[in-house]
């Protein structure tokens, strides 16, 4: 029997080596076809008396990352169609559909012949759940091995037996930690948790897996044997009586109740450990069916799984432009930001020239890269040899002539129009015809900067976020005259350095910073109203933001806020900045020298370690304080999310953002907009545009006209539209017509 995605070779010992190697794909993923073939393989190997056992492995450099995009989309299409065609029977049909993988893996587990999973590289999600259903698991000790059940990060949870098997192999605390955080395990850690039986050298992986079968591996899971006991004794023990209340409290503290899937993990494990294994699988299946129908799951999967992959693969790349092959990148400005851009470029294997006004400044930039390499080597994330190779690709220079053969030059100098003008002119004097010039400006409009260029068609913005080596987002900004080649080159570069791009049209602050400063400005309003600062920060975290607005302002620098405000007043007039905001920031910077984390004092104080940062006590003395009991925390949460979402909607109305995927992904990756919502526009779509408009009008009546819903939102509310409906990134309506 032949298969499209698998090969089977049975050796003289009767061990069938099943190799998963999907054609024309860089990674194995689960599709309906793959699952059908796995079921046929189970049946074939069971019926063949010559097969004594099965080793299941990957023919690629990694095992599998889990489900395919089309399969994920198909799940939600099934949900929608079943609800529409058979509302009463929809739940049962969805329950049966989502259980396909659960019971297929159970079929492996109970097939009567031993199966061993030989894990190389990444093994995540359903692929690890398949491995857990095998009777033996062997993993390579290569650094590339990452084992995880990361589903909670996209709004769902391990729903193919993961919650039941992990909790019956590892102790409950480790099992819950792994699944509720979605964190990756090394092969060694997985073995220590009893999730993997052996860890071997890569070259011995298959031999070790086969040897397990030769040594008499029993084709029975531990929980199917009489007398099986859960590690730690299960639910009804003194230790469990301490664990479970604490686990619930910790989950509440970490998620503020915003992630239904995380709570479903606790419920599945707690209930599942009290019943026979197959009943536990049904409990898990029931919760998975419920979670899959939540707004959070739909929105998170769409933005954090589907859209991120689509944007990362070039969804906005112009057609008909040849793919770029980068032989040299130039970075002008070797400060911390420029040096970090140089570092991620070299990390992608691309030679980079780090240019500054003199060799001393350029050398300091190279030293920043050396520090980043030393940190990575020290943490075991990079070998010394790889670090040396990376640094060898970075050439410090004070001579613009070294940029004469660059394919792309990125300017990362001080945020000053005159300084940038001088750099643009010097670079273009040596830059070859057809090469692209990109500015890393964070606020200055690209069209205005491009006026200093002799070839604005080759001028574009590539806005990085700090710290560059950690932040996964880049904004690619189109000036009015930016051409398709410049956009394609920018997107090819972003793909090469393995970051996610969003493409936006030109405006002050672009997309991310416009939204960020709305968030921070709302905190300024709350301070002026006398809301206790601690309540401001905590309300933002309860709303799902990773850091409070005051803490975020300290990170970006309070004096930078002052510069941006002054620039806005200079360019747009006094009305562009609230006087009370300007007064607050002037007092912080000019009178109190509180500039943020960089000088150890801002809205927070930053004492020497090991002491932790804390809200500056004097902050509450700047304004008369409300009593905490008089402040409605839910309203604070609504204000934070609504003001950001409103700004995102304005960027769509103004034509700055044209694809809702980019607003959603950009808001989450750029500044951590409440991930459970799926992003700023999904937040609106998720509650319904009409409900959002009603909320904004209510907030506007009490807290100011900046909450007034825009004409676009009012029109969408009247027509029952959504952002993904009206601004359909897939052109579904057009195709249907």
- 154/454 Cα distance (integer angstroms): 45
Cα four-point dihedral sign 599, 603, 607, 611? negative
- 377/400 Cα distance (integer angstroms): 32
- Answer whether 558's CB lies under 8 Å from 585's CB: yes
- 192/186 Cα distance (integer angstroms): 10
DSSP string, 295-339: HHHHHHHIIIIIIHHHHHTTTTPPTT-PPP--S-EEEE--SHHHH
Active site residues per annotation: 463
For residue 437, the surrounding DSSP H or E stretch is strand 436-439
> Distance of CA 177 to CAs 1, 182, 184, 647, Å?
42, 8, 11, 36
Nearest alpha carbon to residue 280 among 415, 163, 110, 195: 163
SS (H, E, C) 257-300: CCCHHHHHHHHHHHHHCCCCHHHHHHHHHHHHHHHHCCHHHHHH
The total of other beta-carbon atoms located within 10 Å of residue 622's CB is: 17
Residue 258 has φ and ψ, to the nearest 5°, of: -85, -10
Residue 378 has φ and ψ, to the nearest 5°, of: -60, -30
> Distance of CA 616 to CAs 521, 557, 612, 613, 620, Å?
18, 15, 12, 9, 8
Residue 139 has φ and ψ, to the nearest 5°, of: -125, 145
Nearest alpha carbon to residue 132 among 50, 206, 63, 84: 63
> Distance of CA 208 to CAs 11, 126, 139, Å?
14, 23, 9
- What does the block give as tokens for 321? 């432009």
- What does the block give as tokens for 289? 């069916």
- 480/477 Cα distance (integer angstroms): 10
Tell me the HSE value of 353 on the side-chain side, using a 13 A CA sphere: 24
What's the gap between Cα 118 and its chain centre? 28
- Answer whether 186's CB lies under 8 Å from 161's CB: no
Report the DSSP beta bridge partners of residue 332: 355, 411
Q: 260-272 vs 172-181: helix axis angle to the nearest 10?
A: 160
- What does the block give as tokens for 326? 């980068």
> For 22, left (φ over 0), alpha (ψ -120 to 50), or beta?
beta
- 140/146 Cα distance (integer angstroms): 10
- Most distant CA atoms of the chain, gap in Å: 85
- What does the block give as tokens for 499? 């970051």
């Amino acid at each position: 029997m032949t298969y499209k995605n698998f090969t089977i070779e049975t050796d003289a010992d009767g061990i069938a080596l099943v190799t998963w190697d999907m054609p024309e794909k860089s990674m194995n993923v689960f599709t309906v076809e793959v699952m059908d073939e796995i079921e046929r393989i189970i049946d074939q190997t069971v019926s063949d008396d010559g097969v004594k056992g099965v080793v299941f492995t990957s023919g690629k450099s990694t095992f599998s990352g889990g489900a395919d995009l089309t399969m994920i989309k198909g799940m939600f299409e099934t949900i929608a169609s079943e609800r529409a065609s058979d509302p009463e029977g929809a739940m049962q049909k969805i329950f049966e559909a989502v259980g396909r993988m659960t019971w297929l893996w159970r079929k492996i587990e109970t097939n009567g012949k031993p199966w061993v999973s030989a894990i190389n590289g990444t093994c995540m999600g359903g692929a690890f759940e398949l491995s857990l259903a095998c009777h033996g698991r062997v993993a390579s000790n290569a650094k590339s091995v990452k084992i995880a059940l990361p589903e909670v990060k996209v709004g769902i949870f391990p729903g193919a037996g993961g919650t039941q098997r992990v909790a019956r192999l590892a102790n409950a605390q480790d099992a819950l930690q792994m699944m509720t955080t979605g964190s990756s395990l090394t092969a060694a850690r997985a073995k220590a948790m009893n999730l993997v039986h052996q860890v071997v050298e890569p070259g011995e992986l298959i031999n070790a897996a086969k040897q397990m079968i030769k040594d008499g591996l029993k084709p029975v899971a531990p929980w199917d044997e009489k007398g099986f006991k859960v590690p730690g004794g299960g639910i009804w023990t003194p230790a469990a009586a301490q664990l479970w209340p604490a686990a619930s409290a910790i989950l509440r503290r970490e998620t503020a109740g915003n992630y239904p899937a995380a709570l479903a993990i606790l419920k599945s494990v707690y209930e599942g450990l009290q019943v026979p294994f197959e009943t536990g699988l049904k409990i898990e299946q029931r919760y998975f069916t419920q979670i899959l129908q939540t707004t959070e799951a739909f929105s998170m999967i769409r933005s954090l799984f589907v859209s991120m992959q689509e944007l990362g693969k070039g969804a906005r790349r112009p057609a008909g432009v040849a793919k770029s092959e980068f032989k040299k990148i130039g970075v002008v400005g070797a400060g911390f930001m420029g040096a970090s851009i140089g570092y991620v470029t070299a990390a992608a294997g691309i030679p980079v020239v780090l240019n500054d006004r003199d060799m001393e400044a350029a050398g300091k930039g190279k030293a920043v890269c050396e520090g980043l390499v030393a940190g990575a080597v020290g943490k075991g994330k990079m070998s010394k040899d790889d670090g040396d190779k990376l640094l060898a690709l970075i050439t410090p220079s004070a001579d613009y002539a070294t940029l004469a053969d660059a394919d792309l030059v990125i300017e990362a100098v001080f945020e000053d129009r005159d300084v940038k003008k001088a750099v643009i002119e010097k670079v273009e004097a040596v830059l070859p015809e057809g090469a692209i010039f990109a500015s890393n400006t964070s606020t200055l409009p690209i069209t205005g900067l491009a006026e200093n260029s002799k070839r604005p068609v080759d001028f574009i913005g590539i806005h990085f976020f700090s710290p560059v080596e950690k932040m996964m987002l880049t904004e690619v900004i189109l000036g009015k005259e930016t051409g398709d080649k410049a956009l394609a080159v920018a997107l090819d570069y972003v793909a090469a350095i393995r970051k996610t791009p969003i493409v936006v049209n030109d405006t002050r602050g672009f997309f991310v910073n416009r939204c960020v400063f709305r968030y921070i400005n709302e905190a300024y309003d709350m301070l002026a109203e006398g809301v206790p600062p601690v309540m401001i920060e905590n309300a933002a975290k309860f709303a799902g933001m990773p850091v409070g607005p005051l803490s975020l302002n300290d990170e970006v620098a309070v004096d930078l806020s002052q510069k941006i405000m002054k620039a806005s007043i200079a360019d747009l007039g006094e009305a562009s900045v609230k006087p009370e905001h300007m007064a607050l920031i002037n007092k912080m910077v000019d009178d109190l020298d509180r500039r943020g984390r960089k000088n150890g004092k801002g809205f927070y104080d930053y004492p020497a370690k090991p002491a932790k940062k804390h809200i500056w006590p004097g902050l509450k003395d700047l304004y008369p304080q409300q009593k905490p009991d008089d402040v409605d925390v839910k309203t604070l949460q609504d204000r934070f999310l609504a003001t950001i979402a409103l700004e995102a909607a304005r960027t769509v109305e103004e034509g700055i953002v044209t694809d809702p995927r980019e607003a959603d992904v950009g808001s989450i990756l750029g500044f951590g907009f409440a991930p459970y919502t799926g992003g700023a526009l999904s937040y609106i779509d998720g509650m319904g545009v009409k409900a959002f408009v009603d909320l904004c009008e209510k907030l506007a009546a009490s807290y100011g006209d900046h909450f007034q819903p825009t004409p676009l939102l009012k029109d969408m509310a009247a027509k029952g539209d959504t952002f993904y409906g009206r601004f359909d990134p897939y052109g579904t309506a057009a195709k249907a017509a």
